[in-house]
Structure formats: structure tokens, C-alpha cells
Amino acid sequence: MCLFGGVRMAEKIKLPNLILLETFKGIFQDFFEAVYKIFKRDFVDTKPVFNKKPLRLKSHPFIDGKEYTFYHFTHSGDIENERLPDIRRMERISWAKPVIEECNNWGLKIWPQIRNGKDRLCIWLQLENDLDYIVILDVRTNYILPWTAFVLEYEHEKRKKQKEYEAYLKNKNRLNN
């Protein structure tokens, strides 16, 4: 597995446009269905990979006929059955697949972490003209689950992620010496 990052290569990064609620005249249900259509295209209808491992989805429980992973990518909240739609996550749904597939080519920050006893990978897309975007992958033996994706809206969130990344680098360097 190739884990590296931290080199800003913004000139090479070509992200899809945001999906905006205004495009749907503020009609949330139309916006929501368009967001799901993109998620379905990128993760259900195609078979993306990360470092030669297939990505699978956490499908169960289905929520309103949509994969569980979809809700983790588009809703926020700590209590599972009380998660709320997150417009900023939804607007960026088309970013998730290219961030996962191109993270090494784009020189994004990538590091492992353990959350709730699970091996996870963080992928951090740092942007100068938009909110930073994080994708979390859950690493399994033969496949990878895209777990969640979210934006970093506040400086303290960025500092926290930077500390995590630097701790990973420090431990990695200590092991290599």
C-alpha cells in the first residue's frame, strides 16, 4: 500500500463541479435524488478500486432504499439513527471517487488510523479556494469500505487532522530508522 502525501499538487487536481441545491430551485428532494444518482454511478454501478483492492459498500441497513454508505457520505451526526442531511457533504459527493482513486497521483495526505478498533485510512484533500475534504476508508482483508467523507470547516479541525498526520509521519520515521 502506498501511503504518502503532503505535496500540494493543486494544478494537477481536477475536481468535478459542486452539485448545488440552487440548481434544483431549492427543492431538496430533487437535489437529494441527484446526489444519490451520482453516488450510485460512482460506487454502485461501477467498481472503483483503491491500491488494487476493490471498494465495497456497507449496504445494510438500507435506508429508504439507499445504501448505508451513502448516508455516511451525505449526512452528519454522532448518533446513527439521528444523522441529518449535510448540504456541504452532498454538494461534494462527486469528489469522493476521484479523491479515492487519484489520491496518490495528486500527492494527497494519506495516513492510517485506528478508530473504534477498526483499521481506517484518512485521505485529506487540501484546497486553497474551497473547504478541505476528507475521505475515510475502512480497510478489510480483501476489500476496502468507503466509510465516510466530510469537509473541514474550521481551523481547529484542520489543526487536529494535521496533528494526526504529523504523528503518523513521526512514528513512520521512527520505525524506518
Q: Of 82, 105, 92, which Cα lies nearest the Cα of 10? A: 105
State how far the Cα of 66 lies from the Cα of 72, in Å rounded to an integer.
11
Residue 171 pLDDT grade (very low, low, confident, very high; cuts 50, 70, 90): confident
Look at residue 134 in the predicted model and tell me its pLDDT. Answer: 98
Q: 136 versus 116: which is more confidently predicted?
A: 136
What tens digit of pLDDT does each residue of 10-28 get? Answer: 457 889 999 999 999 999 9
Its pTM stands at 0.88
How far from 71 is each of 60, 132, 144, CA to CA, in Å?
Answer: 11, 20, 17
Q: What are the domain boundaries of the chain?
A: 10-176
